[in-house]
Structure 1
Amino acid sequence: MTSNQEDKLSMYYVVKNTCEKYQATWTTNAVFAATYNLWAEKIPLIEANRDIQALGISGVTISKSEKREIMIVNTLFVEKRVQSYANVENNSELLESIKYTASDLKKARDNDVVAMCNIVYTKARANAPAIETYGVTEDIFAKLQNSIAEYSASLPQPKAARSQAKTATENLSKYFKEADNLLAKRLDLDIELFKTTKPEFYSQFKTARIVIATGGFATSVIGCITNTTTGQPMKGATITFVATNGGTTKAAATAPTKPVVKRSANKGKFRASLHENTYRVTVEKIGFKKQELTISVARGESTDLNIGLEKE
Protein backbone atom coordinates (compact mmCIF):
# COMPACT_ATOMS: atom_id res chain seq x y z
CA MET A 1 0.00 0.00 0.00
CA THR A 2 1.03 3.61 -0.42
CA SER A 3 1.79 5.67 2.68
CA ASN A 4 -1.44 7.59 2.09
CA GLN A 5 -3.43 4.34 2.02
CA GLU A 6 -1.71 3.16 5.21
CA ASP A 7 -2.66 6.42 6.90
CA LYS A 8 -6.26 6.08 5.74
CA LEU A 9 -6.54 2.47 6.90
CA SER A 10 -5.22 3.49 10.31
CA MET A 11 -7.96 6.14 10.40
CA TYR A 12 -10.55 3.54 9.38
CA TYR A 13 -9.57 1.35 12.33
CA VAL A 14 -10.01 4.23 14.77
CA VAL A 15 -13.39 5.13 13.25
CA LYS A 16 -14.47 1.49 13.45
CA ASN A 17 -13.35 1.16 17.08
CA THR A 18 -15.19 4.37 17.97
CA CYS A 19 -18.41 3.23 16.30
CA GLU A 20 -18.20 -0.19 17.95
CA LYS A 21 -17.74 1.51 21.32
CA TYR A 22 -21.01 3.42 20.81
CA GLN A 23 -22.89 0.69 18.95
CA ALA A 24 -25.79 0.80 21.40
CA THR A 25 -26.29 4.45 20.44
CA TRP A 26 -26.74 3.98 16.69
CA THR A 27 -27.74 0.36 16.17
CA THR A 28 -31.47 1.21 16.22
CA ASN A 29 -31.03 4.08 13.76
CA ALA A 30 -31.67 2.43 10.39
CA VAL A 31 -30.00 5.16 8.35
CA PHE A 32 -26.71 5.26 10.27
CA ALA A 33 -26.60 1.48 10.82
CA ALA A 34 -27.07 0.68 7.11
CA THR A 35 -24.36 3.12 6.07
CA TYR A 36 -21.92 2.00 8.77
CA ASN A 37 -22.31 -1.69 7.94
CA LEU A 38 -21.82 -1.01 4.25
CA TRP A 39 -18.66 0.99 5.02
CA ALA A 40 -17.27 -1.56 7.53
CA GLU A 41 -17.54 -4.30 4.90
CA LYS A 42 -14.85 -2.52 2.88
CA ILE A 43 -12.18 -2.99 5.58
CA PRO A 44 -11.72 -6.79 5.28
CA LEU A 45 -11.68 -6.39 1.49
CA ILE A 46 -8.88 -3.84 1.82
CA GLU A 47 -7.01 -6.08 4.28
CA ALA A 48 -7.27 -9.12 1.99
CA ASN A 49 -5.87 -7.24 -1.01
CA ARG A 50 -3.21 -5.58 1.17
CA ASP A 51 -2.03 -9.05 2.21
CA ILE A 52 -1.87 -10.25 -1.40
CA GLN A 53 0.04 -7.13 -2.43
CA ALA A 54 2.43 -7.44 0.50
CA LEU A 55 3.33 -11.02 -0.36
CA GLY A 56 4.63 -9.92 -3.76
CA ILE A 57 6.72 -12.43 -5.72
CA SER A 58 9.81 -12.69 -3.50
CA GLY A 59 8.61 -15.77 -1.63
CA VAL A 60 7.46 -17.42 -4.85
CA THR A 61 10.79 -16.71 -6.52
CA ILE A 62 12.73 -18.15 -3.58
CA SER A 63 10.59 -21.30 -3.62
CA LYS A 64 11.17 -21.71 -7.35
CA SER A 65 14.95 -21.32 -6.92
CA GLU A 66 15.01 -23.86 -4.11
CA LYS A 67 13.09 -26.41 -6.21
CA ARG A 68 15.45 -25.85 -9.13
CA GLU A 69 18.47 -26.48 -6.90
CA ILE A 70 16.95 -29.71 -5.54
CA MET A 71 16.19 -30.92 -9.07
CA ILE A 72 19.73 -30.20 -10.25
CA VAL A 73 21.30 -31.98 -7.26
CA ASN A 74 19.13 -35.05 -7.88
CA THR A 75 19.89 -34.99 -11.61
CA LEU A 76 23.65 -34.75 -11.14
CA PHE A 77 23.65 -37.67 -8.72
CA VAL A 78 21.83 -39.93 -11.20
CA GLU A 79 23.88 -38.63 -14.13
CA LYS A 80 27.18 -39.44 -12.44
CA ARG A 81 25.94 -42.95 -11.58
CA VAL A 82 24.99 -43.53 -15.22
CA GLN A 83 28.32 -42.14 -16.40
CA SER A 84 30.15 -44.53 -14.08
CA TYR A 85 28.20 -47.42 -15.55
CA ALA A 86 28.82 -46.20 -19.12
CA ASN A 87 32.57 -45.98 -18.48
CA VAL A 88 32.70 -49.51 -17.12
CA GLU A 89 30.74 -50.82 -20.11
CA ASN A 90 32.62 -48.62 -22.64
CA ASN A 91 29.26 -47.30 -23.78
CA SER A 92 30.45 -44.07 -25.41
CA GLU A 93 27.02 -43.35 -26.93
CA LEU A 94 25.34 -43.37 -23.51
CA LEU A 95 28.21 -41.40 -22.01
CA GLU A 96 28.05 -38.65 -24.64
CA SER A 97 24.26 -38.34 -24.40
CA ILE A 98 24.26 -37.04 -20.81
CA LYS A 99 27.41 -34.99 -20.35
CA TYR A 100 25.79 -32.06 -18.51
CA THR A 101 27.90 -30.20 -15.98
CA ALA A 102 26.54 -28.45 -12.89
CA SER A 103 27.28 -25.16 -14.65
CA ASP A 104 25.29 -26.26 -17.72
CA LEU A 105 22.23 -26.99 -15.59
CA LYS A 106 22.50 -23.86 -13.44
CA LYS A 107 22.87 -21.52 -16.42
CA ALA A 108 20.19 -23.12 -18.59
CA ARG A 109 16.85 -21.41 -19.12
CA ASP A 110 13.86 -22.74 -17.22
CA ASN A 111 12.40 -24.98 -19.91
CA ASP A 112 15.85 -26.05 -21.15
CA VAL A 113 16.99 -27.25 -17.72
CA VAL A 114 13.78 -29.27 -17.36
CA ALA A 115 14.50 -30.90 -20.75
CA MET A 116 18.07 -31.73 -19.70
CA CYS A 117 16.95 -33.29 -16.43
CA ASN A 118 14.28 -35.28 -18.23
CA ILE A 119 16.89 -36.64 -20.64
CA VAL A 120 19.03 -37.83 -17.73
CA TYR A 121 15.97 -39.45 -16.12
CA THR A 122 14.95 -41.16 -19.39
CA LYS A 123 18.46 -42.49 -20.10
CA ALA A 124 18.81 -43.74 -16.55
CA ARG A 125 15.38 -45.36 -16.60
CA ALA A 126 16.28 -47.20 -19.83
CA ASN A 127 19.23 -48.76 -17.99
CA ALA A 128 17.50 -49.20 -14.65
CA PRO A 129 18.35 -52.88 -13.98
CA ALA A 130 22.02 -52.39 -14.78
CA ILE A 131 22.57 -49.23 -12.75
CA GLU A 132 20.78 -50.42 -9.62
CA THR A 133 24.08 -51.75 -8.32
CA TYR A 134 25.56 -48.27 -8.95
CA GLY A 135 23.17 -46.79 -6.38
CA VAL A 136 20.22 -45.75 -8.58
CA THR A 137 17.29 -47.41 -6.83
CA GLU A 138 13.56 -46.94 -7.41
CA ASP A 139 13.55 -44.45 -4.54
CA ILE A 140 16.20 -42.40 -6.35
CA PHE A 141 14.18 -42.49 -9.57
CA ALA A 142 11.08 -41.35 -7.71
CA LYS A 143 13.03 -38.57 -5.99
CA LEU A 144 14.34 -37.24 -9.31
CA GLN A 145 11.00 -37.53 -11.07
CA ASN A 146 9.19 -35.72 -8.24
CA SER A 147 11.74 -32.89 -8.14
CA ILE A 148 11.38 -32.38 -11.91
CA ALA A 149 7.58 -32.28 -11.57
CA GLU A 150 7.68 -29.83 -8.64
CA TYR A 151 10.05 -27.46 -10.40
CA SER A 152 8.01 -27.62 -13.62
CA ALA A 153 4.87 -26.75 -11.65
CA SER A 154 6.61 -23.72 -10.13
CA LEU A 155 7.52 -22.13 -13.47
CA PRO A 156 4.30 -20.11 -13.97
CA GLN A 157 4.00 -19.07 -10.32
CA PRO A 158 6.07 -15.82 -10.37
CA LYS A 159 4.03 -14.55 -13.33
CA ALA A 160 0.81 -15.48 -11.55
CA ALA A 161 2.02 -13.73 -8.37
CA ARG A 162 2.81 -10.56 -10.30
CA SER A 163 -0.64 -10.67 -11.86
CA GLN A 164 -2.28 -11.15 -8.45
CA ALA A 165 -0.28 -8.27 -6.95
CA LYS A 166 -1.29 -6.01 -9.85
CA THR A 167 -4.95 -6.92 -9.39
CA ALA A 168 -4.67 -6.37 -5.63
CA THR A 169 -3.21 -2.89 -6.21
CA GLU A 170 -6.11 -2.04 -8.52
CA ASN A 171 -8.61 -3.42 -6.00
CA LEU A 172 -7.09 -1.37 -3.19
CA SER A 173 -7.59 1.83 -5.15
CA LYS A 174 -11.20 0.84 -5.82
CA TYR A 175 -12.07 -0.14 -2.24
CA PHE A 176 -10.40 2.91 -0.69
CA LYS A 177 -12.37 5.14 -3.06
CA GLU A 178 -15.62 3.39 -2.16
CA ALA A 179 -14.88 3.57 1.58
CA ASP A 180 -13.93 7.26 1.37
CA ASN A 181 -17.13 8.05 -0.52
CA LEU A 182 -19.25 6.30 2.11
CA LEU A 183 -17.51 8.27 4.85
CA ALA A 184 -17.59 11.68 3.16
CA LYS A 185 -21.01 11.50 1.53
CA ARG A 186 -22.95 9.55 4.14
CA LEU A 187 -21.38 8.78 7.55
CA ASP A 188 -19.91 12.27 7.98
CA LEU A 189 -23.42 13.61 7.37
CA ASP A 190 -25.33 10.97 9.32
CA ILE A 191 -23.21 11.52 12.45
CA GLU A 192 -25.01 14.86 12.80
CA LEU A 193 -27.98 12.85 14.08
CA PHE A 194 -26.09 12.40 17.35
CA LYS A 195 -24.57 15.87 17.77
CA THR A 196 -26.97 16.85 20.54
CA THR A 197 -28.30 13.48 21.72
CA LYS A 198 -24.88 11.82 22.12
CA PRO A 199 -22.24 14.60 21.98
CA GLU A 200 -19.37 12.36 23.20
CA PHE A 201 -19.94 9.94 20.31
CA TYR A 202 -20.16 12.84 17.86
CA SER A 203 -16.95 14.41 19.17
CA GLN A 204 -14.94 11.16 19.19
CA PHE A 205 -16.15 10.28 15.69
CA LYS A 206 -15.00 13.66 14.36
CA THR A 207 -11.60 13.20 16.01
CA ALA A 208 -11.30 9.67 14.65
CA ARG A 209 -11.92 10.93 11.13
CA ILE A 210 -8.69 12.96 11.10
CA VAL A 211 -6.04 11.38 8.88
CA ILE A 212 -2.52 11.70 10.28
CA ALA A 213 -0.12 12.01 7.35
CA THR A 214 3.02 10.21 8.47
CA GLY A 215 4.69 10.71 5.06
CA GLY A 216 8.16 12.23 5.04
CA PHE A 217 8.41 12.60 8.82
CA ALA A 218 7.93 8.97 9.75
CA THR A 219 10.01 6.05 10.83
CA SER A 220 8.96 2.42 10.51
CA VAL A 221 8.06 -0.17 13.12
CA ILE A 222 8.06 -3.65 11.60
CA GLY A 223 7.10 -6.77 13.47
CA CYS A 224 5.32 -10.07 13.76
CA ILE A 225 2.64 -11.39 16.13
CA THR A 226 2.87 -15.05 17.12
CA ASN A 227 1.08 -17.57 19.30
CA THR A 228 3.44 -18.29 22.20
CA THR A 229 2.07 -21.82 22.61
CA THR A 230 2.41 -23.00 19.02
CA GLY A 231 4.94 -20.50 17.69
CA GLN A 232 2.66 -19.94 14.70
CA PRO A 233 2.13 -16.42 13.24
CA MET A 234 -1.23 -14.80 14.02
CA LYS A 235 -3.31 -12.87 11.51
CA GLY A 236 -5.85 -10.29 12.66
CA ALA A 237 -4.26 -9.09 15.91
CA THR A 238 -4.85 -5.38 16.60
CA ILE A 239 -1.75 -3.30 17.39
CA THR A 240 -2.40 0.18 18.77
CA PHE A 241 0.34 2.81 19.13
CA VAL A 242 -0.33 5.80 21.42
CA ALA A 243 2.34 8.52 21.55
CA THR A 244 3.29 9.52 25.06
CA ASN A 245 4.59 12.93 23.85
CA GLY A 246 7.18 12.65 26.55
CA GLY A 247 10.19 12.91 24.28
CA THR A 248 12.67 15.73 24.41
CA THR A 249 13.15 16.23 20.67
CA LYS A 250 11.21 18.73 18.64
CA ALA A 251 9.72 15.91 16.58
CA ALA A 252 8.50 14.16 19.71
CA ALA A 253 7.02 17.32 21.12
CA THR A 254 4.99 18.00 18.00
CA ALA A 255 4.04 14.40 17.17
CA PRO A 256 0.29 13.76 16.85
CA THR A 257 -1.46 12.12 19.81
CA LYS A 258 -4.09 10.33 17.72
CA PRO A 259 -3.61 6.53 18.05
CA VAL A 260 -2.17 4.61 15.14
CA VAL A 261 -3.92 1.27 14.74
CA LYS A 262 -2.65 -1.65 12.66
CA ARG A 263 -3.69 -5.26 12.20
CA SER A 264 -1.37 -8.16 11.57
CA ALA A 265 -1.52 -9.57 8.05
CA ASN A 266 -0.73 -13.03 6.72
CA LYS A 267 2.14 -14.67 8.58
CA GLY A 268 1.47 -12.31 11.51
CA LYS A 269 3.36 -9.37 10.00
CA PHE A 270 2.60 -5.67 10.38
CA ARG A 271 4.20 -2.32 9.56
CA ALA A 272 3.49 1.06 11.12
CA SER A 273 4.78 4.48 10.08
CA LEU A 274 5.26 6.63 13.17
CA HIS A 275 6.76 9.96 14.18
CA GLU A 276 9.81 9.93 16.40
CA ASN A 277 8.57 9.47 19.95
CA THR A 278 7.94 7.04 22.76
CA TYR A 279 4.79 4.94 22.32
CA ARG A 280 2.58 2.82 24.51
CA VAL A 281 1.79 -0.26 22.45
CA THR A 282 -1.23 -2.50 23.02
CA VAL A 283 -1.66 -5.82 21.21
CA GLU A 284 -5.05 -7.53 21.33
CA LYS A 285 -6.82 -10.52 19.79
CA ILE A 286 -9.99 -12.24 20.94
CA GLY A 287 -9.18 -15.31 23.01
CA PHE A 288 -5.68 -14.12 23.94
CA LYS A 289 -4.24 -12.08 26.79
CA LYS A 290 -3.68 -8.42 26.00
CA GLN A 291 -0.04 -7.36 25.76
CA GLU A 292 1.11 -3.84 26.68
CA LEU A 293 4.61 -2.40 26.37
CA THR A 294 6.45 0.83 25.70
CA ILE A 295 8.83 1.43 22.80
CA SER A 296 10.88 4.33 21.50
CA VAL A 297 11.31 5.01 17.79
CA ALA A 298 14.01 7.21 16.30
CA ARG A 299 13.66 9.24 13.14
CA GLY A 300 14.99 7.49 10.05
CA GLU A 301 15.49 4.16 11.79
CA SER A 302 13.54 0.92 11.50
CA THR A 303 12.38 -0.63 14.77
CA ASP A 304 11.70 -4.36 15.08
CA LEU A 305 8.79 -5.35 17.32
CA ASN A 306 8.00 -9.07 17.61
CA ILE A 307 5.33 -9.99 20.15
CA GLY A 308 3.90 -13.29 21.37
CA LEU A 309 0.33 -13.63 22.68
CA GLU A 310 -0.81 -16.22 25.23
CA LYS A 311 -4.21 -17.86 25.23
CA GLU A 312 -6.54 -16.72 27.98
Structure 2
Amino acid sequence: MTRHQINQTNTMERVDEMMTLRASKITGNEPLINCHVQLKAIITDVHTDHQRQVINQKGYTAVKNKQRKDLENIVFKVANGTHAYAVVQKDLKLIALSTVTRSYLNRCRESDLVAEAKTIRDAAAPLAESLVAQGITADDLTALDKGLESFPLQEPGRGALRAFKKQATVDLALKVKEGMDLLHNEMDVLMLPYLSSDPTFYGEYKNARIIVDVSGGQSDQKKEPEK
Protein backbone atom coordinates (compact mmCIF):
# COMPACT_ATOMS: atom_id res chain seq x y z
CA MET A 1 0.00 0.00 0.00
CA THR A 2 1.45 3.37 -1.00
CA ARG A 3 1.58 6.34 1.35
CA HIS A 4 -1.06 8.05 -0.78
CA GLN A 5 -3.37 5.03 -0.44
CA ILE A 6 -2.75 4.91 3.32
CA ASN A 7 -3.70 8.58 3.59
CA GLN A 8 -6.90 8.03 1.61
CA THR A 9 -7.82 4.90 3.57
CA ASN A 10 -7.32 6.78 6.83
CA THR A 11 -9.69 9.46 5.53
CA MET A 12 -12.35 6.87 4.71
CA GLU A 13 -11.96 5.36 8.17
CA ARG A 14 -12.28 8.74 9.89
CA VAL A 15 -15.47 9.46 7.95
CA ASP A 16 -16.80 6.00 8.84
CA GLU A 17 -16.00 6.52 12.52
CA MET A 18 -17.62 9.96 12.55
CA MET A 19 -20.74 8.69 10.79
CA THR A 20 -20.99 5.77 13.21
CA LEU A 21 -20.68 8.02 16.25
CA ARG A 22 -23.22 10.47 14.81
CA ALA A 23 -25.62 7.86 13.43
CA SER A 24 -28.58 9.61 15.06
CA LYS A 25 -27.89 12.65 12.87
CA ILE A 26 -28.67 10.76 9.67
CA THR A 27 -31.65 8.74 10.89
CA GLY A 28 -34.21 8.62 8.10
CA ASN A 29 -31.74 9.78 5.45
CA GLU A 30 -31.69 6.52 3.52
CA PRO A 31 -29.37 7.68 0.69
CA LEU A 32 -26.76 8.80 3.21
CA ILE A 33 -27.20 5.67 5.33
CA ASN A 34 -26.72 3.49 2.23
CA CYS A 35 -23.66 5.50 1.28
CA HIS A 36 -22.19 4.88 4.72
CA VAL A 37 -22.88 1.15 4.41
CA GLN A 38 -21.07 1.11 1.06
CA LEU A 39 -18.13 2.94 2.60
CA LYS A 40 -17.85 0.37 5.39
CA ALA A 41 -17.81 -2.46 2.85
CA ILE A 42 -15.13 -0.73 0.79
CA ILE A 43 -12.92 -0.22 3.85
CA THR A 44 -13.21 -3.92 4.67
CA ASP A 45 -12.25 -4.81 1.09
CA VAL A 46 -9.26 -2.45 1.19
CA HIS A 47 -7.89 -4.17 4.29
CA THR A 48 -8.50 -7.60 2.76
CA ASP A 49 -6.64 -6.61 -0.41
CA HIS A 50 -3.79 -5.20 1.67
CA GLN A 51 -3.46 -8.50 3.54
CA ARG A 52 -3.28 -10.27 0.18
CA GLN A 53 -0.70 -7.76 -1.03
CA VAL A 54 1.76 -8.39 1.81
CA ILE A 55 1.20 -12.13 2.15
CA ASN A 56 4.21 -14.45 2.26
CA GLN A 57 4.64 -17.96 0.84
CA LYS A 58 3.31 -19.64 3.99
CA GLY A 59 0.33 -17.31 4.08
CA TYR A 60 -0.44 -17.88 0.41
CA THR A 61 -0.40 -21.62 0.92
CA ALA A 62 -2.80 -21.21 3.85
CA VAL A 63 -5.14 -19.08 1.72
CA LYS A 64 -5.08 -21.64 -1.06
CA ASN A 65 -5.76 -24.49 1.37
CA LYS A 66 -8.74 -22.60 2.78
CA GLN A 67 -10.07 -21.95 -0.72
CA ARG A 68 -9.86 -25.67 -1.44
CA LYS A 69 -11.62 -26.58 1.81
CA ASP A 70 -14.38 -24.04 1.11
CA LEU A 71 -14.84 -25.48 -2.37
CA GLU A 72 -14.93 -29.03 -1.04
CA ASN A 73 -17.60 -28.08 1.50
CA ILE A 74 -19.93 -26.38 -0.95
CA VAL A 75 -19.50 -29.13 -3.56
CA PHE A 76 -20.37 -31.73 -0.93
CA LYS A 77 -23.43 -29.80 0.23
CA VAL A 78 -24.83 -29.19 -3.26
CA ALA A 79 -24.05 -32.75 -4.33
CA ASN A 80 -25.92 -34.15 -1.32
CA GLY A 81 -28.95 -31.99 -2.03
CA THR A 82 -28.91 -32.96 -5.69
CA HIS A 83 -28.54 -36.63 -4.75
CA ALA A 84 -31.53 -36.44 -2.39
CA TYR A 85 -33.61 -34.87 -5.16
CA ALA A 86 -32.48 -37.56 -7.62
CA VAL A 87 -33.51 -40.32 -5.21
CA VAL A 88 -36.99 -38.83 -4.84
CA GLN A 89 -37.29 -38.56 -8.62
CA LYS A 90 -35.79 -42.03 -9.14
CA ASP A 91 -33.37 -40.51 -11.63
CA LEU A 92 -30.66 -43.16 -11.79
CA LYS A 93 -28.34 -41.10 -13.98
CA LEU A 94 -28.50 -38.13 -11.64
CA ILE A 95 -28.09 -40.41 -8.62
CA ALA A 96 -24.84 -41.74 -10.05
CA LEU A 97 -23.61 -38.31 -11.08
CA SER A 98 -24.30 -36.74 -7.68
CA THR A 99 -22.81 -39.53 -5.58
CA VAL A 100 -19.82 -37.78 -4.02
CA THR A 101 -18.07 -38.71 -0.79
CA ARG A 102 -16.25 -36.38 1.56
CA SER A 103 -13.16 -38.62 1.51
CA TYR A 104 -12.94 -38.43 -2.28
CA LEU A 105 -13.10 -34.64 -2.25
CA ASN A 106 -10.41 -34.52 0.43
CA ARG A 107 -7.92 -36.69 -1.43
CA CYS A 108 -8.55 -35.94 -5.12
CA ARG A 109 -6.23 -33.81 -7.23
CA GLU A 110 -7.04 -30.15 -7.66
CA SER A 111 -7.93 -30.61 -11.32
CA ASP A 112 -10.31 -33.44 -10.39
CA LEU A 113 -11.88 -31.33 -7.65
CA VAL A 114 -12.55 -28.54 -10.12
CA ALA A 115 -13.98 -31.00 -12.65
CA GLU A 116 -16.26 -32.50 -9.98
CA ALA A 117 -17.37 -29.05 -8.88
CA LYS A 118 -18.28 -28.10 -12.45
CA THR A 119 -20.20 -31.35 -12.92
CA ILE A 120 -22.23 -30.79 -9.76
CA ARG A 121 -22.83 -27.14 -10.59
CA ASP A 122 -24.03 -27.94 -14.12
CA ALA A 123 -26.36 -30.63 -12.79
CA ALA A 124 -27.76 -28.51 -9.98
CA ALA A 125 -28.21 -25.17 -11.75
CA PRO A 126 -31.28 -26.19 -13.83
CA LEU A 127 -32.86 -27.68 -10.70
CA ALA A 128 -32.40 -24.60 -8.51
CA GLU A 129 -36.08 -24.22 -7.56
CA SER A 130 -36.56 -27.92 -6.88
CA LEU A 131 -33.43 -28.14 -4.74
CA VAL A 132 -34.77 -25.64 -2.22
CA ALA A 133 -36.79 -28.48 -0.68
CA GLN A 134 -33.50 -30.32 -0.18
CA GLY A 135 -31.90 -27.40 1.65
CA ILE A 136 -29.98 -25.98 -1.31
CA THR A 137 -30.52 -22.25 -1.74
CA ALA A 138 -29.64 -19.80 -4.48
CA ASP A 139 -26.85 -18.56 -2.20
CA ASP A 140 -25.38 -22.06 -2.12
CA LEU A 141 -25.29 -22.23 -5.92
CA THR A 142 -23.75 -18.77 -6.06
CA ALA A 143 -21.13 -19.85 -3.52
CA LEU A 144 -20.30 -22.83 -5.71
CA ASP A 145 -19.82 -20.55 -8.70
CA LYS A 146 -17.63 -18.17 -6.72
CA GLY A 147 -15.62 -21.04 -5.30
CA LEU A 148 -14.84 -22.24 -8.80
CA GLU A 149 -13.89 -18.76 -9.95
CA SER A 150 -11.55 -18.05 -7.04
CA PHE A 151 -9.85 -21.43 -6.69
CA PRO A 152 -6.38 -21.25 -8.29
CA LEU A 153 -5.21 -24.35 -10.10
CA GLN A 154 -1.54 -23.40 -10.11
CA GLU A 155 0.70 -24.64 -7.34
CA PRO A 156 1.59 -22.03 -4.71
CA GLY A 157 5.10 -21.46 -6.04
CA ARG A 158 6.95 -18.20 -6.39
CA GLY A 159 5.33 -17.34 -9.72
CA ALA A 160 1.84 -17.96 -8.38
CA LEU A 161 2.59 -15.93 -5.27
CA ARG A 162 3.87 -13.00 -7.35
CA ALA A 163 0.76 -13.11 -9.52
CA PHE A 164 -1.45 -13.29 -6.42
CA LYS A 165 0.23 -10.24 -4.85
CA LYS A 166 0.24 -8.32 -8.13
CA GLN A 167 -3.50 -8.82 -8.54
CA ALA A 168 -4.03 -7.76 -4.93
CA THR A 169 -2.12 -4.53 -5.63
CA VAL A 170 -4.36 -3.81 -8.63
CA ASP A 171 -7.52 -4.64 -6.68
CA LEU A 172 -6.44 -2.48 -3.74
CA ALA A 173 -5.81 0.56 -5.95
CA LEU A 174 -9.20 0.19 -7.61
CA LYS A 175 -10.96 -0.24 -4.27
CA VAL A 176 -9.31 2.84 -2.72
CA LYS A 177 -10.31 4.86 -5.78
CA GLU A 178 -13.86 3.52 -5.49
CA GLY A 179 -13.99 4.67 -1.88
CA MET A 180 -12.68 8.15 -2.61
CA ASP A 181 -15.05 8.50 -5.57
CA LEU A 182 -17.91 7.50 -3.28
CA LEU A 183 -16.95 10.26 -0.84
CA HIS A 184 -16.43 12.90 -3.49
CA ASN A 185 -19.33 12.14 -5.83
CA GLU A 186 -21.99 10.95 -3.37
CA MET A 187 -21.36 11.53 0.31
CA ASP A 188 -20.05 15.09 -0.13
CA VAL A 189 -23.20 15.93 -2.09
CA LEU A 190 -25.53 14.23 0.39
CA MET A 191 -23.91 16.12 3.27
CA LEU A 192 -24.40 19.59 1.74
CA PRO A 193 -27.91 20.16 3.23
CA TYR A 194 -26.38 19.85 6.71
CA LEU A 195 -24.26 22.93 6.02
CA SER A 196 -27.34 25.03 6.84
CA SER A 197 -29.46 22.62 8.90
CA ASP A 198 -26.70 21.35 11.20
CA PRO A 199 -23.42 23.23 10.63
CA THR A 200 -21.71 21.54 13.58
CA PHE A 201 -22.33 18.09 12.12
CA TYR A 202 -21.26 19.29 8.69
CA GLY A 203 -18.06 20.73 10.18
CA GLU A 204 -17.26 17.39 11.82
CA TYR A 205 -17.69 15.72 8.46
CA LYS A 206 -15.42 18.21 6.68
CA ASN A 207 -12.75 17.72 9.34
CA ALA A 208 -12.94 13.96 8.85
CA ARG A 209 -12.65 14.42 5.08
CA ILE A 210 -9.30 16.19 5.25
CA ILE A 211 -6.48 14.11 3.81
CA VAL A 212 -3.75 13.84 6.45
CA ASP A 213 -0.24 12.97 5.26
CA VAL A 214 0.94 10.16 7.53
CA SER A 215 4.58 11.09 6.93
CA GLY A 216 4.26 14.52 8.47
CA GLY A 217 1.06 14.26 10.46
CA GLN A 218 -0.11 17.61 9.15
CA SER A 219 -3.19 18.49 7.12
CA ASP A 220 -3.84 21.27 4.68
CA GLN A 221 -7.20 22.76 5.56
CA LYS A 222 -7.30 24.78 2.35
CA LYS A 223 -6.98 21.84 0.00
CA GLU A 224 -9.92 20.07 -1.56
CA PRO A 225 -10.10 16.46 -0.42
CA GLU A 226 -8.06 14.24 -2.73
CA LYS A 227 -10.00 12.05 -5.11
TM-score by length of 2: 0.51
Go from structure 1 to structure 2 and tell me whether the alpha carbon gap of 1:256 and 1:158 turns closer, same or farther (over 3 Å shift): same
Q: How does 1:193-272 map to 2 (within 5 A)?
A: 193-215=193-215, 217=216, 255=218
Tell me how far 1:57 sits from its aligned partner. Answer: 4.4
Tell me how far 1:213 sits from its aligned partner. Answer: 2.0
Superposed CA deviations along residues 139-182 of structure 1, whole A, max 9, x for unmatched, are xxxxxxxxxxxxxxxx7433222121111101011111111111
User: Which residue number corresponds to residue 189 of structure 2?
Assistant: 189
More strand as a share of residues? 1
Counterpart secondary structure, 2:196: coil
Q: Give 2:158's aligned amino acid.
A: P
Superposed CA deviations along residues 96-155 of structure 1, whole A, max 9, x for unmatched, are xxxxxxxxxxxxxxxxxxxxxxxxxxxxxxxxxxxxxxxxxxxxxxxxxxxxxxxxxxx7
User: Which residue number corresponds to residue 40 of structure 1?
Assistant: 40
Tell me how far 1:196 sits from its aligned partner. Answer: 2.5
Q: How does 1:1-312 map to 2 (within 5 A)?
A: 1-57=1-57, 156-215=156-215, 217=216, 255=218
**Aligned partners of 1:194 and 1:201 also within 8 Å:** yes
RMSD over aligned Cα, in angstroms?
2.8
Where do 4+ consecutive residues of structure 1 move more than 3 Å?
A: 56-61, 255-258
Q: State the distance in 2 between where 1:210 and 1:57 align.
A: 37
More helix as a share of residues? 2
Superposed CA deviations along residues 233-264 of structure 1, whole A, max 9, x for unmatched, are xxxxxxxxxxxxxxxxxxxxxx5599xxxxxx
Go from structure 1 to structure 2 and tell me whether the alpha carbon gap of 1:28 and 1:60 turns closer, same or farther (over 3 Å shift): closer
Counterpart secondary structure, 1:196: helix
Percent of aligned positions that are identical? 23
Tell me how far 1:59 sits from its aligned partner. Answer: 6.6
Q: State the distance in 1 between where 2:29 and 2:14 align.
A: 21
Go from structure 1 to structure 2 and tell me whether the alpha carbon gap of 1:182 and 1:159 turns closer, same or farther (over 3 Å shift): same
How many residues were matched structurally?
Answer: 129
Superposed CA deviations along residues 207-236 of structure 1, whole A, max 9, x for unmatched, are 110101234x57xxxxxxxxxxxxxxxxxx
Q: Give 2:33's aligned amino acid.
A: A
**Aligned partners of 1:57 and 1:162 also within 8 Å:** no
Question: Of the two structures, which has the highest relative contact order with CA contacts closer than 8 Å and spacing of 6 or more?
Answer: 2
Tell me how far 1:60 sits from its aligned partner. Answer: 6.7
In structure 2, runs of 5+ residues without a counterpart are 62-154, 222-227
Go from structure 1 to structure 2 and tell me whether the alpha carbon gap of 1:184 and 1:157 turns closer, same or farther (over 3 Å shift): same
TM-score by length of 1: 0.38
Tell me how far 1:26 sits from its aligned partner. Answer: 0.7
Go from structure 1 to structure 2 and tell me whether the alpha carbon gap of 1:212 and 1:168 turns closer, same or farther (over 3 Å shift): same
Go from structure 1 to structure 2 and tell me whether the alpha carbon gap of 1:7 and 1:58 turns closer, same or farther (over 3 Å shift): farther
Q: Give 1:37's aligned amino acid.
A: V
Go from structure 1 to structure 2 and tell me whether the alpha carbon gap of 1:58 and 1:24 turns closer, same or farther (over 3 Å shift): same
Go from structure 1 to structure 2 and tell me whether the alpha carbon gap of 1:256 and 1:180 turns closer, same or farther (over 3 Å shift): closer
